[in-house]
Amino acid sequence: MTAMAQAMIRLEDLSKTFNAGTPDAKLATREVSLQVQAGEFVAIIGGNGAGKSTLLNLIGGAIAPDEGRVEIAGIDVTGQPEHVRARQAARVFQDPMIGTAPMLTVEENLVLAELRARGRGWRAALTSSRRTRFRAELAELGLGLEDRLTARAGLLSGGQRQALALVMATLEAPDVLLLDEHTAALDPRTSATVMQATQRLVSARRLTTMMVTHNMEHALQYGTRIVMMADGGVRADLSSEDKAGLGVADLVKRFHISDDRMMLS
């Protein structure tokens, strides 16, 4: 008997309508079914209001679907609250202010993330072995954060804060990493640096990743698969082979992407 590889993320017929039953009703996702295998890096692209963030919110548990089912690593998490699911599905948001606590130092943020993931109080000592681990984790990013362990996070640059948020989100090896336009608020150079840091973390920890982006270049470069959404549904699903040789212009032309915030490079 051949064992079927289990999908790391399995979405079945996920539908969500906001303001249902009112004149403002908006069908944000319609019967989305998708399977993501362990280790895939799925870039989610699509025009404004296509349902990309809603899809990540449904997977992360920030909103509950009206219909359908979310499974992560074989566990049905559909009815599970967001804070419970956070151990399996870590998130990094667009706003560098969200993922980190500005008044805490870099090392305090990290110890908080580690102990939170283990469901323990965070005031346990910042031991020297933890500091050594944090320094090594940060050094991997190539952003000089390893020398700023005792600096308040609020004093870091936007890019450094996003990198710190990434390390915090992934410190305790979640099954899934959800990135919601996590480089969109950064200037192009910093955004590229944070994407490189993302790639390093994702491959070092073998994370299954879903990244919403308006940056077509990043989708092509970092996605091992590209899912394009339109009108709350999946319009196209490109594997590594499908996207091989495609440039940004091909992508835009082929899928008629209309997106005010689209970044071509």
Ligand X SMILES: Nc1ncnc2c1ncn2[C@@H]1O[C@H](COP(=O)(O)OP(=O)(O)OP(=O)(O)O)[C@@H](O)[C@H]1O
Binding site for ligand X (CB under 6 A): 18-19, 26, 28, 46, 48-54
Which residue, 24 or 241, has its beta carbon nearer to ligand X? 24
The two structure tokens encoding residue 117: 């993931």
To the nearest whole angstrom, how small is the minimum distance from the Cβ of residue 67 to ligand X?
Answer: 16
Number of neighbouring beta carbons within 10 Å of residue 129 = 8
Nearer to ligand X, 51 or 159 (CB): 51
CB-CB contact of 29 with 16 (8 Å): yes
Cβ-based nearer residue to ligand X, 19 or 128: 19
To the nearest whole angstrom, how small is the minimum distance from the Cβ of residue 230 to ligand X? 9
DSSP symbol at 100:
S
CB of 215 vs ligand X, minimal distance in Å: 12
Report residue 31: phi and psi, to 5°: 45, 55
**Minimum separation from the CB atom of position 194 to ligand X (A):** 19
Q: Can you read off the two tokens belonging to residue 181?
A: 């336009």
Q: Label residue 59 exposed, middle or buried (CB < 10 Å: 0-12, 13-18, 19+).
A: buried
SS3 47: coil
Least gap, CB of 53 to ligand X (angstroms):
3
Side chain identity at 11, as an amino acid letter?
Answer: L
CB contact at 8 A, 11 and 69: yes
Judged by beta carbon, residue 148 or residue 182, the one nearer ligand X is 182
User: Can you read off the two tokens belonging to residue 141?
Assistant: 């990013």
Q: In the bound complex, what is the minimum distance in angstroms from residue 19's beta carbon to ligand X?
A: 6
Looking at the Cβ atoms of 46 and 223, the one nearer to ligand X is 46
Number of Cα atoms under 13 Å in the Cβ half of residue 22: 7
CB-wise, 57 or 160, nearer to ligand X? 57
Tell how many helices (H) and how many strands (E) occur in the chain.
9, 10
